[in-house]
Amino acid sequence: MFFPRHSILLLAGFLGSISPASAHFLELVPSTALVTKSGESQLSFDIRFTHPMEGGPLMNIERLERFGVQTVDGKQDLTGQLVAETLPMALNPGKAQSYTADYSIRRAGDYTFYASPTPYWEAEEKTMIIHHTKVIVNAYGLENGWETPVGLPVEIMPLSRPYGLWTGNIFSGQVMKNGTPEGNAIIEIEYRGEGKVKTPATPFITQTLRADANGVFHYAMPKAGWWVFAALLDTGKTLPAPDGTQAPVEEGGLIWVHTRNIP
Ligand SMILES: [Cu+2]
């Protein structure tokens, strides 16, 4: 059974832990959501495992097992583009490994970038976490692939075109597990506030909803910027954990979308 992360971390907090009561997400954020002129065609990515609303703490990414791009021409492995960087954790002492990557866009079309890190050991929840993450960048207005699945083990299929969205638009998606709709998944949603948004209480940090029996969900995004949608599944799998146990695996399918204010 899946328990909301907040309640577990809050309980952990009462027991003396220093973890903030919020959810972590893999950030796969390009320098621009839309390429409209050649000056924007050199994309750079920040790939971090963090709490997007609060802008920290940063958690360590050991390695990215998968990083690539899908276009009409198929998939291209981009792991060779990854550059590791060690950053202060922010909010927590210590440093964590993150990644950057560059990619230059040469042709019009949809570019679906995707990344899967090695499993992350969440000691408090005794869970291994894997976040299969994607973001779609459109170049020069040719729409030719945003609705094509990458084929990730857990994946959110956008029902709304995932770019060119205004603030206040509804984003609709469908949760897929191994290519088939997965009903009733928990969806966690967060704005990338980077610590600049004052949240009046903990429940405002991460929005939570449940997809319907076909895995479909809807959410209206109330602010301009980057939003992440995470479908978190308990897949029943286990992996050997650093504490010597076989730990349950929480597999997430994430999608990042960007909104802009209507002028
Ligand atoms: Cu975290």
pLDDT tens digit string along 218-255?
999 999 999 999 999 988 899 999 999 999 999 999 99
The span from the CA of 62 to the CA of 105, in Å, is 28
Instruction: Output the pLDDT for position 64.
Output: 97
The structure tokens listed for 244 are: 């010597």
Ligand 1 centroid vs 205 CA: distance in angstroms? 13
In this prediction, residue 22 carries a pLDDT of: 60
Q: How far apart are the two ends of the chain, measured CA to CA in Å? A: 45
Q: Is the pLDDT of residue 20 over 50?
A: no
Geometric angle at alpha carbon 59, from 153 and 124, rounded to 5°: 80
pLDDT(35) > 80: yes
Segments forming the whole domain that contains residue 53: 5-260
SS3 state of residue 127: strand
Tell me the pLDDT tens digit for each residue of 108-141: 999 999 999 999 999 888 999 999 999 999 999 9
**CA of 58 relative to ligand 1 center, distance in Å:** 7
pLDDT at 17 over 90: no
Q: Are 247 and 241 in contact (CB under 8 A)?
A: yes
Before 93, cis peptide (omega within 30)?
no
Task: Give the distance (Å) from ligand 1 centre to CA of residue 4.
Answer: 14
Instruction: Return the residue matching tokens 């909301």.
Output: 4
CA of 179 to the centre of ligand 1 (A): 28
Ion ligand 1 contact residues with beta carbon within 5 A? 24
What tokens does 263 get? 């002028």
Calculate what percentage of the chain has a pLDDT beyond 90. 84
Q: Is the pLDDT of residue 8 over 80?
A: no
CA–centroid distance, residue 252 to ligand 1 (Å): 14
Neighbours of 107 (CB within 10 A): 12
This prediction has a pTM of: 0.91
In tens, the pLDDT along 177-213 reads 999 999 999 999 999 999 999 999 999 999 999 999 9
Q: Which residue bears the tokens 């802009």?
A: 260
Higher pLDDT pick, 12 / 25: 25
Q: CA 176, CA 168: separation in Å to the nearest integer?
A: 25
d(CA 83, CA 193): 24
Total domains, the chain:
1
